Amino acid sequence: MTQRMKFWSQMSAFGRAQLRLTTAAKEGLGDPVLAELVVLRASQLNRCAFCIDMHVKNLRESGVDPRRIDLLPAWEESGDLYTARERAALALTEAITVLTDGFVLDEVYAQAAAHFDETELAHLIAVIVAINNWNRVNVTVRQPPGEEL
């Protein structure tokens, strides 16, 4: 795979804004491991090698059980490896990231709302939207894993 362009150096103001957006979204979520699981799952769905590489490293460095990282693509079949709160966040992540039906199902949203207060839920949605922005740019320009942005 050959990188198509150095998007982030061409769009440095956009990159700074995207970073501020992501930071602001994560700040109100309160749980950095949850945030990393969410962004890793969205990145897996979007097949963003750059982001998958980065967020796997972040989770490993945080001391997260390697099974929780390895089994994330099959979180629904992983028993009690993920908390009910994490499962609700991951379901919402998948619904927002893959808008196959054009909307987020009421039951998925209600499940997330049962585990997050309104402020946390707003931040969770913002984290999911932010990582999807990163993924879409990086996949489009073929940002190589492990490289500096």
- Nearest-angstrom CA–CA distance, 105 and 83: 21
- Tell me which DSSP letter residue 4 carries: -
Confidence of residue 24 (pLDDT cuts 50, 70, 90): very high
Q: What are phi and psi of 28, to 5 degrees?
A: -85, -5
Q: pLDDT above 90 covers what percent of the chain?
A: 93
Q: How many CB atoms lie within 10 A of CB 75?
A: 19
Shortest CA distance to 73 belongs to which of 97, 45, 48?
A: 45
Q: What is the pTM of this model?
A: 0.95
